[in-house]
Chains A and B, each alone.
Chain A
């Protein structure tokens, strides 16, 4: 036993002896025994405090007190399992939701990019072309390396079945900018990255493992990609990551696609630039502005008004998701706030019922600081337990969240509840326990404690103030819940609006897939044309199947645009407006049920040797032919010299090409058979049939492979699922906010219930008297419901005002409705008040059943 323990063990005996000696001295001085003992005690002072002060000498006192308080707290919590469970669950919901969302915020917005010195990586906000990049490199001082890349699908025919692989076509500097190192062999070098260099390819770790069983001897082997041989020069490490692009193979753009690489006016490259050490973004930006001007002078027709803007690479990758994430984070913080208010309310209710205990302890010499510490420890124990349970909830929630997340949400891979998230959860839990425990603790230990002891347990003076406080808390949580409900309501209404948007075509029973003819075997137009015609014929000869082709399928994400010139309206090439172009083959419009509004559709009479014709959509007609009949007018593309004029023969209805929530742009449809280009080797097949999609898929694939064994179809999807996928982000936003709002509503209902039930208990006596004096149950009912309704109405009014002020921040998530949509505001207010009334029913029933005799005997 330590000296300290030995000393402290004897302390009580020492004190007793001391008082006994003093008592005996007093008796010896002639005092009566009772008085003598009392005098001795008074002279000694507060025994408990002496013991505590003495223990304090042995230094660990704060720790000891803490442990003691924790033990006591745990005991108190165990004694009221109902209260503990409700409090922990409330906080677990709030903290769990926050942990789940924070792990996404942390993974997407805070986690540094997986490259060395990521803060030096920037990107051009818009796409650019390789010749422009070369000029920027020559004229700039700010950059260490200017990487550029795009993704292309190439056919890989070296395996058992032909497959499409995602090829990252890039320049050699991409790897320098990202500071990538090969796991095996080497990366694309400047020598590989020249026009006419022999094909060199670097494999991703995944592709290397899948296709070659991670065999290191593949280096130096040749593989066929879209019919051309490429030598494997290296393998990337498993950790290498290219933003948003799960590339299988990496090759030089100049080698894979020299024509596109040389086109200055085709902007399709993502740019990743590494700043030189010490160069800031504003410096680089101002240099970029000078380069803009010099490029505009050098190539006036291509580089007018480019206004290149540099942004941190992380911002470019995260893009619009930042706003959605921050809105979720805000929403989930509101949920936590509501949970915390409920928590504080629970604590207040509990401390009210513990007032006698507190008064006794304080009378026995516990300082108010010690009492507050004790109560804070209890609330912190609860919040930590809530945090621990919250982490469990968050783990499940995160899994659901990631499963629901829209496919193009950036940086979701590798998100987990990591150390940063745990630190966040721990601090939130501690803060919750301390901040929201402080108010109840402070209220509970306020002076006036003597009153509690004297009164016989039924106390009014202290609890009035505490009830007022609790009402304020409930009103504020109701207001917060209402705001969340309105946010969710607005999203639900947007979604309804969006889903009720006519897509402009009938998506049912349509199967789609994408086919790209390999360049090596289909370089000449006649071969492409033959393949298309044969495939379409064989598909249409399948029983019960109608098929057509289009180059850019609605909602697939594909689009192609040209700068428009209209015959008879001269225009500066730099100012030519952009229009969407889509090339079709077969009965596309009637297959998709896109209505013909004017003129005629394409027919068998429109052949390669007849005048080139186009069909425009409604938006096109409205925008460019508002005062003129479009039929018979001729249009062309500004980039062609000379312009190949095409005659407008018809106008068809708009389709929601870019998604249900996006407006259609002016678009012109032409025919593969009339406007074939050697490079336009891709097509999407649309096949309408009442058969099962899986069965139909097999049949269509067989028809393709009957023509060419080495062509891999990709993106096999029904039109309906393509359409659904286009609203995935909205659905995700909606689901998430609806869950938060539901949790908030439930918490607010619990809060209202708690306060009303408590107030009914407090007023049992009063209600008893009223009943005894002849009050009808209905008036008792309205008394209780009235109290709940007042809380709900106050909360609703404040919440409506708050929502009116805040919903504008979510304008970008809405579609087709105002941020202050009156219907949503009204409906949500009604729902909230109904829920509040329901929450009051249980206490109201109890109040109506109060037996006046029992209530009066309370005295």
Chain B
């Protein structure tokens, strides 16, 4: 049913979203909207983030002390929260990235023979 599907999609996004946020912040502290934009932009608009789900993810990362918050001023001169990658977050990003590579590689290895079979 619809709620089940939704839940699955959110869960699928969550881990990935954390990784993408950390990756985005490596370029420097920025505020919430800019993070969402950056993710969309950098993925060539493939990943359509439901922007709201960014906030639970940000809070989760803060709680784990992978990112920190500071007051700052946005492009249009408004007070905004800027999120900054911590040292711990940086380590975590490395770890997560290598994990992701392994996962992606493994999935690719599983998928490739199947493709070959289909071709032959």
Q: Which residues of A contact B (CB under 8 A)?
A: 3, 7, 10-11, 14-15, 17-18, 21-22, 24-25, 43-47, 49-50, 53-54, 56-59, 367
Chain B min CB distance to A854 (Å): 43
Query: Once bound together, how far apart are the Cα atoms of A49 and B60, in whole Å?
Result: 15
B100 on the A face (CB < 8 A): no
**Which of A10, A15, A21, A56 has the largest number of chain B CB atoms within 10 A?**
A21
Closest Cβ of chain A to B39, distance in Å, is 13
How far is B3's CA from A59's CA once the two chains are assembled, in angstroms?
Answer: 22
List B residues 30-50 near A (Cβ within 8 Å).
31-33, 36-37, 50
Most B C-beta atoms less than 10 A away, residue of A10, A17, A47 = A17
- B59 x A44 contact (CB < 8 A): no
Docked CA distance A516–B78 (Å): 106
Q: Give bound CA distance, A54 to B54, whole Å.
A: 9
Please state if A14 and B52 are interface contacts (CB–CB under 8 Å).
Answer: no
Q: What's the dominant secondary structure at chain A's contact region?
A: helix
Q: Within the complex, what minimum Cβ distance (angstroms) separates B4 from chain A?
A: 12
Question: Could you mark each residue 60-95 of chain B with 1 if its beta carbon is under 8 Å from any beta carbon of chain A, else 0?
Answer: 101100000100001010101100000000000000
Whole-angstrom distance from the CB of A368 to the nearest CB of chain B?
A: 8
Other A-B contacts than A14-B32, A46-B52, 7 sampled, CB-CB below 8 A, are A18-B32, A21-B76, A43-B51, A50-B53, A56-B56, A57-B60, A58-B59
CB distance from B106 to the nearest CB of A (A): 29
Q: Check A7 against B55 for contact (C-beta < 8 Å).
A: no
Which residues on B sit within 8 Å (CB–CB) of A50?
52-53, 55-56
- Nearest CB on A from B36, distance (A): 8
Q: Among the listed B31, B51, B74, B76, which residue makes an inter-chain contact with A22, where contact means beta carbons less than 8 Å apart?
A: B51
A57 CB contact (under 8 Å) in B37, B56, B78? B56
How many Å from the CB of B34 to the closest CB on chain A? Answer: 8
Residues of chain A within 8 A (CB-CB) of B76 are 21, 24
In the bound complex, what is the Cα–Cα distance between A716 and B78 (angstroms)? Answer: 98
A49 touches B55 (CB 8 A): no
Q: What is the number of residues of chain B that contact chain A, defined by CB distance less than 8 Å?
A: 22
Contact B81 A44 (CB under 8 A): no
- Set B53, B74, B78, B80: member contacting A45, Cβ < 8 A: B53
B: which residues have CB within 8 A of A?
3, 31-33, 36-37, 50-53, 55-56, 59-60, 62-63, 69, 74, 76, 78, 80-81
Subset of 16 A-B contacts with CB under 8 Å: A11-B55, A14-B81, A15-B55, A18-B36, A22-B33, A25-B37, A43-B50, A44-B51, A45-B50, A45-B52, A50-B56, A53-B56, A54-B56, A57-B63, A58-B59, A59-B63
Asked if A21 and B74 sit within 8 Å, CB to CB, the answer is yes
A58 to B56, CA, bound (A): 9
Give the residue name and chain of the A residue nearest to B49 (CB).
Answer: A43
Q: Quick check: A17 and B78 within 8 Å, CB to CB?
A: yes
A45 to B49, CA, bound (A): 10
Chain B residues near A11: list those with CB within 8 A: 55
Give Cα distance in the complex from A45 to B63, angstroms. Answer: 23
B56/A18 in contact, CB under 8 A:
no
B80 surroundings in chain A (CB, below 8 A): 17
Minimal Cβ-Cβ distance residue in A for B50? A45
Report the nearest A residue to B69, measured CB to CB: A7
Minimal beta-carbon separation of B81 from chain A (angstroms): 6
A8 CB, min distance to chain B CBs, angstroms: 8
CB distance from B17 to the nearest CB of A (A): 12
Bound Cα distance A570, B37 (Å)? 116
Among candidates A18, A49, A56, residue contacting B51 with C-beta atoms closer than 8 Å:
A18
A295 to chain B, nearest CB (A): 75
B residues within 8 A CB of A57?
A: 56, 59-60, 63
Are the CB atoms of B51 and A54 closer together than 8 Å? Answer: no
Listed from nearest, the 10 A-B pairs whose CB atoms lie closest are: A45-B52, A50-B52, A53-B56, A57-B59, A45-B50, A21-B33, A54-B56, A44-B52, A57-B60, A18-B33
CA distance A544 to B33 in the complex (A): 111
Min CB gap B3→A, angstroms:
7
CB-CB nearest in chain B for A367 = B3
Q: Residue on B with the closest CB to A46?
A: B52
**When chains A and B are docked, how far (Å) is the Cα of A54 from the Cα of B55?**
6
Give Cα A10 to B52, complex, Å. Answer: 15
Bound-state CA distance A7–B81 (Å) is 10
Please give, as numbers and ranges, the residues of chain B lying within 8 Å of A17 by CB-CB distance: 31-33, 74, 78, 80
Could you tell me if A45 and B56 are in contact, using CB atoms closer than 8 angstroms? no
Complex Cα spacing A50 to B32, Å? 14
Q: Is B81 a contact of A47 with CB atoms below 8 Å? A: no
**How many angstroms from the CA of A10 to the CA of B36 in the assembled complex?**
18
Task: Name B81's closest neighbour in chain A (CB-CB).
Answer: A14
A820 to B19, CA, bound (A): 76
Q: Specify which chain B residues have a CB less than 8 angstroms from the CB of A47 in the assembled complex.
A: 52
| Beta-carbon contact of B59 and A49 below 8 Å | no
Chain A residues contacting B53 (CB-CB under 8 Å) are 45, 50, 53
B6 → chain A closest CB, angstroms: 10
Smallest Cβ distance from A165 to chain B, in angstroms? 76
Closest chain-A Cβ to B79's Cβ sits at a distance in Å of 9
Q: Which of B31, B52, B60 has the most CB of A within 10 A?
A: B52
Contacts of B31 in A (CB 8 A): 17
A43 contact set on B, CB distance < 8 A? 50-51
Q: Which residue of B lies closest to A6 (CB)?
A: B69
Does the CB pair A58–B63 fall under 8 Å? yes
A7-B50 contact in complex given A14-B55, A14-B81, A17-B80, C-beta closer than 8 Å:
no
Q: Give the residue name and chain of the B residue nearest to A21 (CB).
A: B33
Bound CA span A3–B63, Å: 9
* C-alpha spacing A606/B63, complex, angstroms: 107
Q: Which residue of A lies closest to B37 (CB)?
A: A25
